[in-house]
Amino acid sequence: MRNTRYWIPALGLVTTLTMTGCGSSSDPSGPAPDPTPTLVTAPLSARVDLGEPTFSDPTSITNPLFPISELTQVVQVGSEGDVALRHELTLLPETKTIEWNGGQVETVASQFVAYGDGRLLEVATDFFAQADDGAVWYFGEDVANYVDGVLDNHDGTWLAGEDGPPGMIMPGDPRVGDVYRPENIPGFVFEEVTVKSTTETVDGPQGPIEGALLVEELLMDGVLEDKVFAPAYGEFLAQVVSEDELVTVSVGVPRDHLAGGVPAPLDALSAAAADLLEANADGQAAAAAIDSAWAAYRSGALSPLTVAQVDDAVARLQAAIDASDETARLQAAFDLAYAATDLRLRYDDPAAVDLGRLDLVAVRLLADAAAADDGSVGGDIAALRCTWDRVEHTIADPSQVHDALVALEAVAPTDLESAATAAADLRGALAAL
């Protein structure tokens, strides 16, 4: 359902898996399996998702290992090979009622956004509901996949009741050996999970977290993925050894919220990185300010992967300044400024952080337009839209920003001059909030 889904192409899938667990599709003409080799799956005796769940209060998702309705925003960072990965998971204000098994189930909506090297890969809306026994069920996702800034396909999209059954994504009381399927439409979408441990300890953003769940997930193309689910966070770590992929939580709020406001060194780091995104910036002075601010701030408890990404951006930034490489300087400054938003999320309101991200992407759009990179301009516009969609409801009067974004979306990405003008207008509307 996430992490590896945006890079897996549309492959032929499994034909001999049985469509079991949690009812059947209400649409017998739904997706047909493709002829491909058989996956070796667990015996039915190990499955804990074969009973039919009941949903009396489905949008109150309190399962400690998948508390999706209690998480405002979670950021995961990592890498796949030499590509820096970033995932943003945000609780949306709306719910979705899904017709299934002759009834209706109201589901929680969560937005998932994936970036590779800072560029948009995927935007999805996922739908979840908690059953009366505490198990959380996955009711589908609406997926948009991007390649080089352009919407490429909707592969991975499915909806319970239309395409097949919902899938259990977290048991109410998981035990070693339990097997369940978060996606269970063989030949279309499929994942099978086996619980390996319920007593893991992981390094969290604020220290060790006990009682984490380790699972092995069999993906639809036969790849095995290890995942850790941590109390108060949900999905905390995912690793695909065969793909050299690892992502883990950088910050999750409200769990990681810290009182006292944004520390002065972090403010200084953010400001200096933002300065370097503007024309005629004093690169050496800003770099010195960044080094000083980062040295003062990084002494606290931070995700090791977040520290690594900031360190990398700082090093690339200094190298670009020394080489007078304007393109590399802008990219490194953007990466650093955006990473700083994750650090700010520990102290600031998530909506305020997202507004800062909107301005950063608008600045990058201006740079992409100046570089005549219309593909990246298109991706910037899509990134602006998905970020605005999750923050608009928090703004008392969002009309100016809304209108400015709609005007930007109406511009063809190849019309770089008009796109730059519209992006500047959007920045003005954001500044006026």
Q: Residue 342: which domain range?
A: 264-431
* Residue 28 confidence class, pLDDT cut points 50, 70, 90: very low
pLDDT score for 41: 95
One domain for residues 233 and 283: no
**Would you give the end-to-end CA distance of the chain in angstroms?**
36
Whether 35 is in a domain gets the answer: no
> Is residue 433 scored above 90 in pLDDT?
yes
Co-location of 246 and 270 in the same domain: no
Dihedral sign for Cα 157, 94, 76, 341, please.
Answer: positive
For residues 239 and 113, membership in a common domain is answered with: yes
CA dihedral 306, 309, 310, 315 (to 10 degrees): 160
The Cα–Cα gap between 64 and 49 comes to 18
Phi and psi at residue 324, in whole multiples of 5°?
Answer: 55, 40
Assess if residue 294 is contained within a domain. yes
Contact between 9 and 219 (Cβ < 8 Å): no
285 and 218 belong to one structural domain: no
Q: Are residues 177 and 219 located together in one domain of the fold?
A: yes
| 192 in the same domain as 95 | yes
User: pLDDT digit string (tens) for 192-234?
Assistant: 999 999 999 999 988 899 999 999 999 999 999 999 999 999 9
Inside any domain, residue 5: no
- Per residue in 378-399, pLDDT tens? 999 999 999 999 999 999 999 9
User: pLDDT category, 7, cuts 50, 70, 90?
Assistant: very low
Q: What is the pLDDT of residues 56-113, one digit of tens each?
A: 999 999 999 999 999 999 999 999 999 999 999 999 999 999 999 999 999 999 999 9
Given a contact cutoff of 8 angstroms between Cβ atoms, the answer to whether 78 and 246 are in contact is: yes
pLDDT classification of 1: cutoffs 50, 70, 90: low
3-state secondary structure 331-386: HHHHHHHHHHHHHHCCCCCHHHHHHHHHHHHHHHHHHHHHCCCHHHHHHHHHHHHH
Number of Cβ within 10 Å of residue 208's Cβ equals 9
Which of 253, 287, 305 is the last residue in one of the domains? 253
User: How confident is residue 2, by pLDDT bands cut at 50, 70 and 90?
Assistant: very low
Decide: helix, strand or coil at residue 287: helix
Beta bridge partners of 219: 191
CA distances from 164 to 58, 138, 205, 263 (A): 19, 11, 38, 49
Whether the predicted pLDDT of 30 surpasses 50: no
Q: What is the pLDDT of residues 396-409, one digit of tens each?
A: 999 999 999 999 99
Percent of the chain with pLDDT over 90: 85
CA distance 358 to 386: 10
Overall domain count for the chain:
2
Q: Which tokens sit at 81?
A: 């090979």
List pLDDT tens digits, range 168-182.
999 999 999 999 999
Domain closes at, from 253, 278, 299: 253
**Structural domain contains residue 259:** no
- Whose CA is closest to 336, among 352, 353, 315, 321? 315
pLDDT in tens, 230-284: 999 999 999 999 999 999 999 999 999 999 999 999 999 999 999 999 877 888 9
pLDDT exceeds cutoff 70 at 6 = no
Give the integer Cα–Cα distance in Å for 133 and 262: 40
Do 413 and 294 sit in the same domain of this protein? Answer: yes
Residue 12 belongs to a domain = no
> Would residue 25 count as lying in a domain?
no
pLDDT tens, position by position, 315-325: 999 999 999 99
Residue 60, SS3? coil
Q: Strand 119-130 to strand 136-147: parallel, antiparallel, or no bridges (unpaired)?
A: antiparallel
Q: Are residues 414 and 286 in the same domain?
A: yes
Do both 291 and 189 map to the same domain? no
Residue 428: closest CA among 392, 395, 410, 403: 403
One domain, residues 187 and 276: no
Instruction: Copy the structure tokens of residue 358.
Output: 């909107």
Residue 32 has pLDDT above 80, yes or no: no
Q: Which of 117, 126, 122, 110 is nearest to 152 (CA)?
A: 122
Tens digits of residue pLDDT in 112-166: 999 999 999 999 999 999 999 999 999 999 999 999 999 999 999 999 999 999 9
Q: Is the model's pLDDT at 5 over the cut of 70? A: no
50 and 162 in one domain?
yes
**Residue 38 domain-assigned (yes or no):** no
Bridge partners (DSSP) listed for residue 79 = 84, 246
Q: Are 158 and 234 found together in one domain?
A: yes
- CA dist., res. 356 & res. 344, Å (int): 10
For position 21, what pLDDT does the model report?
Answer: 41
Choose the final residue of a domain: 253, 286, 320. Answer: 253
Cα–Cα distances (Å) from 97 to 58, 89, 127, 390, in that order, read 10, 21, 9, 19
In b/e form, how buried is each residue of 129-159, taking b as 16+ CB within 10 angstroms?
A: bbbeebbbbbbbbbbbbbeebeeeeebbbbb
Instruction: Tell whether 307 is covered by a domain.
Output: yes
